[in-house]
Structure 1
């Protein structure tokens, strides 16, 4: 059975998360239902990451096995037709090797968190950013974020229900930037690692927000990390500002498909 990689974009608000759950709508369920309209033999698909309820994605990746060959473009078009009106879209599809796996072949995951600091509540960005009313200071957040880079025991920033075998992870990047928006400032947290613990990014952002608001000194983040104690963590941010934006692979099927298309030339 040919295997296909799907790059998926979704608005997380209507869903209980990526993973299929009884009696709760999930992104996985929506994509699988669309796939079964094309191929009734489809039972389940695997994804690169299990985003939580309310978390968005612009670059989630999943794979599926189908009973017949599909042109990848036609497959994405057909799936998008059957996904309507759910806020889920297949932005790319590519044929992969039979042993390629969306989760286990991944070497990097990148998340973006968007925080809007302004007095008035957001209108156009409602549900897409974490809105805080107080002003935040960028430099202390950047200083505090540097304490988290590298390989550490991240027990402090790990949910109590996390099922990962070990709290030890390597954080490759945590960049905090700011840009002015109408009547406020949007802070962006660009976070990269091979894999993450449950609620790790939201725990980082909620803690760094306390630093930016002046409630925490930057060195307190280092102390919290060293404590290896969930009670030492700052507040956990809400899911509304979090996006899974990229999954990296040593042999990226979408890059290979794009290169093949570019090299084909006009007929």
Structure 2
């Protein structure tokens, strides 16, 4: 058996999320079907981070084991020829047998990064449908960035945790959170050691309250300290969220996480 690792890019709008679900299309189901066809035997994958319905990925990472005699290009070309147009493997390579795409103290990934893209314009865009969240009223990106800095560091993020989250603890280490404007886009880019269920979308929903001038910048710090999800902003829509990808120790020799090509 050889352990392989692959980078997966997908547009998540047609899928119920990464994880296989009964009677609903999933990204994992499509990827495993393609890999299994190339291997001519069942292939199961482990991913770096499960994404929700409608969420996209630039650099999802998966690992799988197979005894099939295939080279990296064979896996790549064969799988992509069997995948739908909105899912693609970007690279495949062999990796040490102790590698795991998952994040935890026992596994290989060291951090994860997400980007949330807001199309902030008076008129909606047909071409950006399902690729960015449209907000017509003006947003103050500078105020959003200022407010967001209260979240950087290790904290209890209960105020931004979904009710159905099954994590044993709400403590996470948020390494960076940047908000900026690029012409008609407002971009939120966040990196952490791990994320709670809906954490990025819940943080975004609260930052939108600040950007819309309905709340002061100091409100975000108050929410964090209060640890009460019911007082926070809405859960932002899924279509603006992109899983940029995980980081791994250099010893595994993996390609660096994909840089988002929009907005700069």
With normalisation by structure 2, the TM-score equals 0.92
Distance 2:150 2:193 in 1: 18
SS at match of 1:231: helix
Distance 1:62 1:253 in 2: 15
1:115 matches 2:118: yes
Q: Quick check: which has more Rg, 1 or 2?
A: 1
Distance 1:148 1:136 in 2: 20
Matches within 5 A, 1:32-43: 32-43=32-43
- Please list every run of 5 or more consecutive structure 1 residues that lacks an aligned counterpart in the other structure: 257-267
Deviation of 1:68 (Å):
2.4
1:66 matches 2:66: yes
Q: Could you say which residue in structure 2 is the equivalent of 1:56?
A: 56
Q: Could you say which residue in structure 1 is the equivalent of 2:218?
A: 219
Q: Could you say which residue in structure 1 is the equivalent of 2:260?
A: none
1:42, 1:65 within 8 Å by CA — same for their partners in 2?
A: no
1:134 matches 2:137: yes
- Please list every run of 5 or more consecutive structure 2 residues that lacks an aligned counterpart in the other structure: 257-264
Deviation of 1:43 (Å):
4.3
SS at match of 1:13: helix
Q: Could you say which residue in structure 2 is the equivalent of 1:154?
A: 157
Cα root mean square deviation, aligned? 1.2
1:187 matches 2:186: yes
Distance 2:101 2:211 in 1: 36
With normalisation by structure 1, the TM-score equals 0.91
Q: Could you say which residue in structure 1 is the equivalent of 2:109?
A: 106
2:122, 2:137 within 8 Å by CA — same for their partners in 1?
A: yes
Deviation of 1:39 (Å):
2.1
Q: Number of aligned residue pairs: give it.
A: 251
Q: Could you say which residue in structure 2 is the equivalent of 1:210?
A: 209
Distance 1:110 1:48 in 2: 11
Q: Could you say which residue in structure 2 is the equivalent of 1:166?
A: 169
Distance 1:252 1:29 in 2: 26
Deviation of 1:75 (Å):
1.1
Q: Could you say which residue in structure 2 is the equivalent of 1:259?
A: none
Distance 1:107 1:237 in 2: 26
Deviation of 1:44 (Å):
1.9
Superimposed CA distance per residue, residues 175-229 of structure 1 (whole angstroms, 9 cap, x where no aligned partner): 001111xxxx201111001110000000111110110100111111111111111
Q: Could you say which residue in structure 2 is the equivalent of 1:231?
A: 230
Q: Could you say which residue in structure 1 is the equivalent of 2:44?
A: 44
Q: Could you say which residue in structure 2 is the equivalent of 1:96?
A: 95
